[in-house]
Amino acid sequence: MRDDRTSLGRRATWTRRGWLSAAGTSVVGAAIGGADVSAHAQASTPQQAGEKGLPLRLTEFQPKSMLHVKETTVPRARFPVIDFHTHVSFRQRAAKPTVPAAELIKTMDAVNLHTMVNLTGGSGDELAATIKNFDRAFPRRFISMTEPTWTRASEPGYASWQAEEIGKAKAAGAVGLKILKTLGLYLRDGGTTGKLVRVDDERFDPMWDACARLGLPVAMHVGDPEAFFTPIDRFNERYEELGAHPDWSFYGKDFPAFKEILAARDRVFARHPKTTFVALHVGHWAENLAAVGEMLDKFPNVNVEIGARIAELGRQPRTSARFFDKYQDRVLFGTDAIPLGKETPQQVFGEELYHIYYRFLETEDEYFDYAPAPIPPQGRWRIYGLGLPAPILRKVYHQNAERVLGTKLVSA
């Protein structure tokens, strides 16, 4: 399987900003001081072994831990898994290749991954093609969500039109609605110089209501890590990540503050109590589980999933274990897996990725990598396992997802 993953990874490279550029009405580049930081962070010619008197470049620093601690391999999950957060297809204008479903199934079977929830199923003809090639070809192994058509958001009558389109998407086989951070951070009225559209803009109320009426959950991602909203300087714990990708920064310009985005999101939750929401990436604030807990306490219609955030959860294992215990009925398994690419190794689909997630959830191992990469991609730290008990594992691995989706997939 390792050779298969390597060949998949070489097929194509793409950028997150390019994907979101294609999804939104217009995109604003977001890097303040990015050029200087990028130049500092980019890898250059490695120093020769034995050179003395020269400082080691940060990009070349790959320390090996001297800890002698237990290392557990978890090749298969203890219970069947529904990965609620994956991207196995993309809209055509995103210009990103996909991997045939049959190839993905091989890895899924190897790691006890029963179902991949494909959040980016598109809409219209693209959604129909995705459902045909994945969902219908391998029933209950792939299920897909639809997406709003943001390019029409400024047109008269958009609200009612989009609500109707969601109904058509469900009839075609869609199991939910995915909201990318296009809303709140990219989508603008009036072109590239227009005003950013707020997450709680009332024109989208009919869309949220339609999801409630149709029984479709909304998987929402409107905020990135908190550090992405702070200066890219020596105090930023994601300095290397933002230095290599300065366009991931949302600090400055006219971007809303991090807490403003979450407040607008919460107003949506409050206005639509009959709609089921899944706040992806641990409610967009895995760095502050107390705040996420307060949000869950306030909004019983909201759930969270853990995709691409075990780096945050795993460096606060005791707090995380208490969170999983208290909210064991509200936490869904997810990885944010993509079948191709190199720039985000914490997301690239493959056996190694799932082994790390299973190790984090099932064992009490200490100080291990959160991504299959020589340098930690999200920050220079390692994580600790939670050792969750079997009843919680079952809920996180598949039972909570079945409840949210309103369908039996594993136990059918």
Give pLDDT, residue 192.
83
Within-domain flag for 62:
no
Q: What is the DSSP string of 59-80?
A: GG---------------S-SS-
The rounded distance, in Å, linking the Cα atoms of 72 and 364 is 9
pLDDT tens-place string over residues 312-325? 999 999 999 999 99
Q: Examine the pLDDT at 31 and tell me if it is beyond 80.
A: no
Q: Examine the pLDDT at 271 and tell me if it is beyond 70.
A: yes
List the one residue out of 162, 159, 161, 160 whose CA is nearest residue 203: 159
- For residue 371 the two structure tokens come to 């991504």
Give pLDDT, residue 324.
99
Q: Examine the pLDDT at 8 and tell me if it is beyond 70.
A: no
Q: What is the mean pLDDT of the chain?
A: 89
Residues whose CB is less than 8 angstroms from the CB of residue 225 and which lie 6 or more positions away in sequence, other chains included: 238, 286, 287, 312, 378
Q: What is the mean pLDDT of residues 65-92?
A: 94
Kindly state the helix (H) or strand (E) to which residue 159 belongs, with its residue range.
helix 158-172
Within-domain flag for 397:
yes
CATH of the domain at 141: 3.20.20.140
Q: Examine the pLDDT at 252 and tell me if it is beyond 80.
A: yes
Radius of gyration of the chain (CA): 21
DSSP three-state, residue 353:
helix
pLDDT tens-place string over residues 226-241? 999 999 999 999 999 9
Within-domain flag for 355:
yes
The rounded distance, in Å, linking the Cα atoms of 410 and 143 is 13
Give pLDDT, residue 95.
55
Give pLDDT, residue 193.
86
CA distance readout (Å), 213 to 32, 208, 216, 243:
43, 9, 8, 44
Give pLDDT, residue 44.
45
Within-domain flag for 12:
yes
Within-domain flag for 337:
yes
List the one residue out of 248, 262, 405 whose CA is nearest residue 333: 405
- For residue 130 the two structure tokens come to 């995705």
Give CA 147 to chain center in angstroms.
Answer: 15
Give pLDDT, residue 36.
45
Q: Examine the pLDDT at 82 and tell me if it is beyond 80.
A: yes
Q: What is the mean pLDDT of residues 246-265?
A: 97
Give pLDDT, residue 199.
98
pLDDT band at 92 (very low <50, low <70, confident <90, very high): low
Q: Examine the pLDDT at 274 and tell me if it is beyond 90.
A: yes
Lowest mean pLDDT: which of 10-14, 222-226, 250-254, 374-378? 10-14
Q: How many domains does the chain divide into?
A: 1
Q: Examine the pLDDT at 93 and tell me if it is beyond 70.
A: no
Question: Which is higher by pLDDT, 30 or 192?
Answer: 192
Q: Examine the pLDDT at 224 and tell me if it is beyond 70.
A: yes
Give pLDDT, residue 249.
98
Pairing of strands 177-179, 188-189: unpaired
Q: What is the mean pLDDT of residues 294-314?
A: 98
Domain span holding position 390: 2-24+69-405
Within-domain flag for 57:
no
Q: What is the mean pLDDT of residues 117-127?
A: 96
Q: What is the model's pTM?
A: 0.88
Within-domain flag for 35:
no
Within-domain flag for 38:
no
Question: Which is higher by pLDDT, 366 or 190?
Answer: 366
Give pLDDT, residue 22.
52
